[in-house]
């Protein structure tokens, strides 16, 4: 008897077309159901977690936050390096790159992009730390939207376009995450906080990332090379939503509060995140993190 999981995957295949057989058998990629279940569990925890913590004391999570941010910094640095080297090795074209034209570099690209997909599952912990520390004001629509959609989008990317023109956004985002998670990791050491100067540039970097990704994706529409057009149009549409949401966050956070610099705490929020050492019992009103 055909299982529910098999029916779901058969429907996806009939709608999306043939998968890229090079990733067949890779962990979590053959079956969409686990990725979907992880997303549903994430959304349920986002909904029920604050209710559970409402009458409980907040956890500081200090012992977990330092290694968590350090590990994500190192993972992001590894992915950025591997992505750049894959692009260099395969001679990838900025304007358009097909998924079967990079030779061995395509295999290297697929391997690191799998880690990029998997990192989006790890990053669910950002939200869980908010809940445990009762920083519920950080759990914004932008934060949840970005986390929940990225894991699912990249499951589809890995199954249908796991290399080629898919590289650019992941490369830029990995670089931004090196800056972001290193900031939160270092800010856990009080003596270092006065020297952490790059916080205000992270959201700006993300906005630049989205604009450049949309431009680079549009180039493949204007000068096609065989990369599936449907993916390009979807990527452009998704970038538009992120540009609008992050721009609104940036305006609300920085522009409207530019006259209140004293409220900008050393480990305040950046692009919707605040998983550093400052807890809700120390600061009641802080800026939200966006992603």
Does 15 score more than 50 pLDDT? yes
Q: Could you tell me if residue 16 is inside a domain? A: no
Q: CA geometry: angle at 31 spanning 28 and 32, to 5°?
A: 90
Q: Could you tell me if residue 289 is inside a domain? A: no
108-123 mean pLDDT = 98
Does 29 score more than 50 pLDDT? yes
The verdict on pTM exceeding 0.85 is yes
Q: Which domain holds residue 81?
A: 27-253
Q: Could you tell me if residue 164 is inside a domain? A: yes
Q: Could you tell me if residue 9 is inside a domain? A: no
At 17 the pLDDT is 95
124-130 mean pLDDT = 96
Indicate the number of domains in the chain: 1
263-286 mean pLDDT = 44
73-96 mean pLDDT = 98
Q: Could you tell me if residue 160 is inside a domain? A: yes
Which sequence positions are flagged as catalytic? Answer: 146
260-281 mean pLDDT = 45
Q: Could you tell me if residue 273 is inside a domain? A: no
Q: Could you tell me if residue 61 is inside a domain? A: yes
């Amino acid at each position: 008897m055909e299982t529910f999981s098999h029916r779901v995957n058969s429907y996806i295949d009939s709608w999306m077309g043939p998968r890229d057989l090079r990733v067949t058998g890779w962990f979590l990629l053959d079956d969409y159901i686990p990725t979907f279940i992880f997303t549903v569990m994430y959304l349920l925890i986002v909904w029920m977690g604050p209710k559970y913590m409402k009458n409980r004391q907040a956890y500081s999570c200090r012992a977990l936050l330092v290694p968590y941010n350090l590990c994500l910094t190192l993972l992001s640095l590894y992915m950025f390096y591997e992505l750049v080297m894959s692009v260099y090795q395969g001679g990838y074209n900025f304007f358009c790159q097909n998924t079967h034209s990079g030779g061995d570099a395509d295999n290297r690209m697929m391997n690191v992009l799998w880690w990029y997909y998997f990192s989006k599952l790890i990053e669910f912990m950002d939200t869980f730390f908010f809940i445990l520390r009762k920083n519920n004001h950080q759990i914004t629509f932008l934060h949840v939207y970005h986390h929940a959609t990225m894991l699912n989008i990249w499951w589809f990317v890995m199954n249908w376009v796991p290399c080629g023109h898919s590289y650019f956004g992941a490369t830029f985002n990995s670089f931004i995450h090196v800056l972001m998670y290193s900031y939160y990791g270092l800010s856990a050491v009080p003596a270092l906080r006065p020297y952490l100067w790059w916080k205000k540039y992270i959201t700006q970097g993300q906005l630049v990332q989205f604009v450049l990704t949309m431009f680079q994706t549009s180039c493949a529409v204007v000068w096609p090379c065989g990369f599936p057009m449907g993916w390009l149009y979807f990527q452009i549409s998704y970038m538009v939503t992120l540009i609008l949401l992050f721009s609104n966050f940036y305006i609300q956070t920085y522009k409207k509060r530019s006259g209140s610099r004293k409220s900008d705490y050393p480990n305040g929020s950046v692009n919707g995140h605040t998983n550093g050492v400052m807890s809700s019992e120390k600061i009641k009103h802080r800026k939200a993190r966006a992603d």
